[in-house]
Amino acid sequence: MKIELKNVCKSFNNVNVIDNISLNFESGNIYGLYGRNGAGKSVLLKLICGFYVPTTGEILYNGENLNLRLEFSKDLRALIEKPSFFPDLTGFENLKMLAKIQNKISDDDILEALDIVNLKQEMNKKYSKYSLGMKQKLGIAQAIMEKPKVIILDEPFNGIEKETVEKLISYFVELKKQDKLIIVSTHIKEDLEKMANIVYKVDNGQMYEEIKL
| Per-residue pLDDT reduced to its tens digit, 121-137 | 999 999 999 999 999 99
In the prediction, which pLDDT does 67 show? Answer: 81
In the prediction, which pLDDT does 213 show? Answer: 47
Angstrom distance (rounded) from CA 136 to CA 8? 29
Say if CB 50 and CB 73 are below 8 A apart.
Answer: yes
Beta partners for residue 154, in sequence order:
185
Q: Does domain 1-75+179-213 have CATH number 1.10.443.10?
A: no
Among residues 10, 44, 16, the alpha carbon closest in space to that of 154 is found at: 44
In the prediction, which pLDDT does 212 show? Answer: 55
* DSSP 8-state class, residue 82: S
In the prediction, which pLDDT does 204 show? Answer: 86
In the prediction, which pLDDT does 146 show? Answer: 98
Rg from Cα positions in the chain: 17
In the prediction, which pLDDT does 100 show? Answer: 96
CA 62, 194, 158 angle in degrees (round to 5)? 85
User: Residue ranges of the domains in the chain?
Assistant: 1-75+179-213
In the prediction, which pLDDT does 210 show? Answer: 63
Low-confidence ranges of the chain (pLDDT < 70): 209-213
In the prediction, which pLDDT does 1 show? Answer: 93
